A and B are shown apart, each in its own frame.
Chain A
Amino acid sequence: MTSGVKCSDDVVSKFQEIKIGHKYKYVTYNISDDLSQIETESTVQQGSWDDFCAALPPDGCRYAVYDFDYELPDGGKRNKLIFVNWCPDSAKIKLKMLYATSKDAIKKKLVGIGNEVQATGLDELNYDEILEKISRGGKN
């Protein structure tokens, strides 16, 4: 099911920059106020996972792409792009529905996402859990 919300060109351009140039640490996207299209909300060049979590609004939904760096137990460095679908419980139901139905519109445009994380609260964005999930290599 799709909501008919379109994706602005900027969304793909910013993703391209984070994917190819590693220009940003993370990019957050939101649906515009008139609920017509997905736009880039912010791009951040430096920041830790905790900074990223803190940037997510407690009562608003967001999509985000985070450039996740991690080390394997044997010391090898890895890097993956993760797609975060942030829908806190306290957000308005209408907004949550809209973000859920528009997810395909943005995610299908962003080729090369290593992993997707869905979160309804900060406890689901625990660094260690996500690290484990990513290093498992599974796609869920």
Chain B
Amino acid sequence: MSYSLNSILATLPRTQRGSPIVLGGDPKGKNFLYTNGNSVIIRDIESPEIADVYTEHSVQATVAKYAPSGFYIASGDVSGKIRIWDTTQKEHILKYEYHSLGGQIKDIAWSPDSKRIVAVGDGREKYGNVFMWDTGTTVGEIIGHSKAINSVDFKSSRPFRIVTASEDNDSNFYEGPPFKFKHSAKDHGRFVNCIRYSPNGDRYLTGGADGKSFIYEGKTGEKIAELGNGAKSAHAGGIYGVCWSPDNTQVLTVSADKTAKIWDIEKHQVVTEFIMGTTINDQQVGCLWQGDYLLSVSLSGYINYLDKNNPSTPLRIIKGHNKSITAMSAVLYENKSTLYTGSHDGIVNHWSVESGVAESVEGNGHSNQVNELASCCDVIASIGMDDTLKTIDHKTNQFCSSVALDSQPKGVAIGKDSLVVVAEINGVSDDRFL
């Protein structure tokens, strides 16, 4: 009997509190890109159950961006390597690989003609590198920053410009090619997290950890205005992502104050405000505006599809794991297959095998790594490093009971009539749930 890959239940983006993440958009508007661990995930924006994973990075991948031509993806990792690979074929053949920086790559931008790439991040001496995609020859210098650069963007029309946003609170403006430092803008009081050109290249927008956001002229780099007109900061928390609408008239900003806002670019005023929740996991760390889709990523890794007409509820939320999965069990009940997975941060999810949609198991869950899951009929038993045995009811998908164990559990089995046997490091115990 031979096996073939049916579908991939993809991971969520790896998030880290206090650092922005970059979602890569597709010029054709079909997919979007993000990274987790050593993998780059290509996900269909319309039906996110369809996913493809690129696993060729040997260390943690941090950012991936489509070339404007749509034929290649450039992805960077924590060691400073850039890999440029084919998107048209399933094998994702490597085209070029460059060692670009001495440290982590934080953002990549392609020139509109898909010929040049600028990569920024951390390094020993230089924090950015702009080079030809096919030869690796540098075509200018990204100098003038004294700390790591968080974000970069290319002007999408001629004459070419590059703008960078750095942890030294400055955003720099470069003219070229060959790209040369022109001037810096010192408007932010904290790290500048994100910088993006409008699709037509007329303006660019910054977002900083001080909650402020400024609009600049695209060709000269002169400041035009501040979002909110300076009356108060655009957001109450740091801004982690900014993205332009395809028609250049609006921008989406997402922030650690657990909100996302759409702004009118002429009036610099809020058009729509999305309130994403109240917990730390509801902080928004990245965003993408592609076609009709507005995506925002929560600190929990959940990808929210925002609804302009109904700001209080997202259209859909892609759930899953963003830490490594440590336990798995499948349930076939009433002809429906469900997969239960537990990860090392204690989260248990249930997946519909047919549709690939994940939902989290609610209730009083594990506070630490899930060690093993076992199932029989409609009951799932789970053991965790928090030394508890919990059961999940398949019908409601909630944790229903919890038993404290004497020592760390290593294995669990469940039999008829809900008899549960747990192997602990100090012996074996059994329990019966009714």
Contact = CB atoms under 8 A, between A and B. Distances in A.
A85 B146 CA distance: 17
B181 A12 contact: yes
Given A13-B181, A16-B180, A16-B181, A109 B144 contact: yes
Contacts of A105: 146
Nearest to A12: B144
Contact of B143 (A6, A104, A109): A109
Interface in B159-201: 180-181, 183-184, 186
A125 interface: no
A130 interface: no
Contact of A12 (B125, B143, B147, B186): B143
A117 interface: no
Contacts of A20: 180
Nearest to B147: A108
Given A9-B184, A13-B181, A111 B146 contact: no
A104 B146 contact: yes
Contacts, number: 34
Contacts of B181: 9, 12-13, 16
Interface string A74-116: 0000000000000000000000000000001110111110000
A20 B147 CA distance: 23
A53 interface: no
Contact of B146 (A7, A9, A13, A16): A7
Interface residues of A, number: 16
Contacts of B125: 111
Contacts of A13: 181
Contacts of B147: 108
The number of chain B residues touching the other chain, given as a range, is 10 to 19
Nearest to B184: A9
Contacts of B282: none
A19 B180 CA distance: 12
Interface residues of A: mostly helix, strand, loop or mixed?
A: helix
Contacts of A6: 186
Interface string A1-30: 000001101001101100010000000000
Contacts of A104: 146
B152 to A, nearest CB: 16
B143 to A, nearest CB: 4
Contacts of A15: 143
B257 interface: no
A13 B141 CA distance: 12
B106 interface: no
A7 B166 CA distance: 14
B145 interface: yes
Contacts of B141: 16, 111-112
Nearest to A106: B146
B126 interface: yes
A20 B178 CA distance: 11
Contacts of A111: 125-126, 141, 143
Contacts of B184: 9, 12
A13 B126 CA distance: 16
Contacts of B145: 108-109
A13 B182 CA distance: 7
A9 B126 contact: no
A108 B146 contact: yes
Nearest to A113: B125
Nearest to B144: A12
A105 B186 CA distance: 14
Contacts of B144: 9, 12, 109
Q: Which of B125, B141, B144, B186 has the most CB of A within 10 A?
A: B144
B162 to A, nearest CB: 15
Interface string B235-265: 0000000000000000000000000000000
The 6 closest A-B pairs by CB, nearest first: A108-B146, A12-B144, A111-B143, A111-B126, A9-B183, A12-B181
12 contacts: A9-B144, A9-B183, A12-B184, A13-B181, A15-B143, A20-B180, A104-B146, A108-B145, A109-B144, A109-B145, A111-B126, A112-B141
Interface of A: 6-7, 9, 12-13, 15-16, 20, 104-106, 108-112
Given A9-B183, A111-B143, A112-B141, 17 more contacts: A6-B186, A7-B146, A9-B144, A9-B181, A13-B181, A15-B143, A16-B141, A16-B143, A104-B146, A106-B146, A108-B146, A109-B143, A109-B145, A110-B143, A111-B125, A111-B126, A112-B143
